Amino acid sequence: GEDVEQSLFLSVREGDSSVINCTYTDSSSTYLYWYKQEPGAGLQLLTYIFSNMDMKQDQRLTVLLNKKDKHLSLRIADTQTGDSAIYFCAERVPSGGSYIPTFGRGTSLIVHP
């Protein structure tokens, strides 16, 4: 079955870069996603990458995709305390004429001064 794996915790110092890693299993995934969940809130789509791309940059966020190894990473430059949240990577698997999202368990990013 499909499975998306992430490390559970990451602690960084304010101003440093954060790198959150993810591995996925469905090689047919065309799009891969990163979501952010702040305390007491739902998920917010941060960015996504098309599978024919190796890299996508959006302001402080850089997504790297290694399709051969099915490895996805999210780099946050100049990490701020407001970036403290849980980050989920996700793929969407075809099913029943639609696509079902499969999420990793989430990486809790803790940013300390």
Partner 1 sequence: KAGVTQTPRYLIKTRGQQVTLSCSPISGHRSVSWYQQTPGQGLQFLFEYFSETQRNKGNFPGRFSGRQFSNSRSEMNVSTLELGDSALYLCASSLEAGWEDEKLFFGSGTQLSVL
Binding segment (CB under 8 A) for partner 1, from list 17-25, 36-44, 52-60, 76-84: 36-44
Beta-carbon contacts of 60 under 8 Å, excluding residues fewer than 6 positions away, are 76, 77, 78
Closest CA to 24 of 69, 55, 80, 61: 69
**Residue 88 makes contact with partner 1 by CB under 8 A:** yes
Binding segment (CB under 8 A) for partner 1, from list 11-19, 52-60, 76-84, 96-104: 96-104
Closest CA to 111 of 79, 86, 88, 89: 79
Closer residue to partner 1, CB minimum distance, 62 or 99:
99
- Nearest-approach distance from CB 76 to partner 1, in angstroms: 20
Beta strand pairing call for 71-76 and 85-95: unpaired
Closer residue to partner 1, CB minimum distance, 45 or 110:
45
**Residue 47 makes contact with partner 1 by CB under 8 A:** no
Between CA 15 and CA 56 the distance in angstroms is 21
Among 19, 53, 77, 100, binds partner 1 (CB under 8 A): 100
Beta strand pairing call for 98-103 and 18-23: unpaired
Q: Residues in the site for partner 1, rule: CB under 8 A?
A: 30-31, 35, 40-45, 48, 50, 88, 92, 94-106
